[in-house]
Structure 1
């Protein structure tokens, strides 16, 4: 076979659909998470910013979004660990959500290492909106690509395009990380008053760059 017909992964050419999905997965780089500040103005207005601009009467708290992936797990086979580093998978769920349970089972039965984030509080819901551009649950992120709502065919297509094995390659002793809250909210004491006015929402920077989202017709629930 002509070497030029091999793609950048060193594999045989894929279908047009697979190549299109791969292009979407590669479209955005996964940037590290940033500290996010929730500013409650003296007038009650809530804004988000990555810097702590305060005026007299403002109250500030720091909202941290947990985004550490399972790719550093040395128990993963080397090939699978490389894929997980390139396209980390995160599942966003809520309690009493049957589609969320089905999505979790799909990932586990295929042996996809992933993080599971629970959406419970208002801060969780706001973080979900920023990360996935919606509040549909379950939601799945594969690298920079986000799929909202459960669609087994769509999820499978994106996992295939990312190069994840179709059958589990996890060692028998592997344990999936327990689910954890999407955000951790800690009070950040601040006594000095800044001369800068509170930032407006339009000027705040997002936790992550916007992602293209796919919304299947049979979405689960909205948070």
Structure 2
């Protein structure tokens, strides 16, 4: 009986060290009221946005440089429900770099219009904007180059 207890202890220790990610949602309801939550918005929500904060840095205060980067070159990821593995890869790239980003799922006609104004047609996801620079489709090298050019660090700098 000691083996299951030992195994459980090891699993608990391993999971305690795993990287966590936090997600917040912002949406507008039918009456035009803006909501923020850690729960996904209802299907009737308009202008739904998802913001992910990754890694152990999710609970810490961002540095001045990070705040300035997110103000000057905000990162927005455009996805759709039909986008599965490749969108997971896209989120993973941003999460590994510790980049805070807004995720917009192309659900409503308003979301699609916003997408088309930036990227044109047809809709191809995932797509990314870094500041005013758009990139359609997922290309790790191209996405990293875009993020590097904006000044985002390649790796997470240590925090005090």
TM band (smaller chain): 0.5 to 0.7
CA contact (8 A) 1:65 1:127 kept: no
The one of the two structures with greater contact order (alpha-carbon pairs below 8 A, sep at least 6) is 1
> When the two structures are aligned, how many residues end up with a matched partner?
107
Matched residue, 1:89 = 75
Q: TM-score, normalised by structure 1?
A: 0.42
Query: Unmatched 5+ residue regions in structure 2?
Result: 1-45, 53-59
Matched residue, 2:135 = 147
Report the structure number with the largest CA radius of gyration.
Answer: 1
Q: Alpha-carbon deviation of 1:119? A: 0.9
Secondary structure at 1:115 match in 2 = strand
Per the alignment, do residues 96 and 65 of structure 1 end up closer, same or farther by CA in structure 2, a change over 3 Å counting? closer
Matched residue, 2:149 = 161
Residues of 2 paired with 1:126 and 1:114: CA distance? 20
> 87, 90, 102: which one pairs with 1:103?
90
Q: Alpha-carbon deviation of 1:66? A: 6.8
CA contact (8 A) 1:83 1:164 kept: yes
Secondary structure at 1:91 match in 2 = strand
Q: Alpha-carbon deviation of 1:83? A: 1.3
Q: TM-score, normalised by structure 2?
A: 0.58
Matched residue, 1:129 = 116
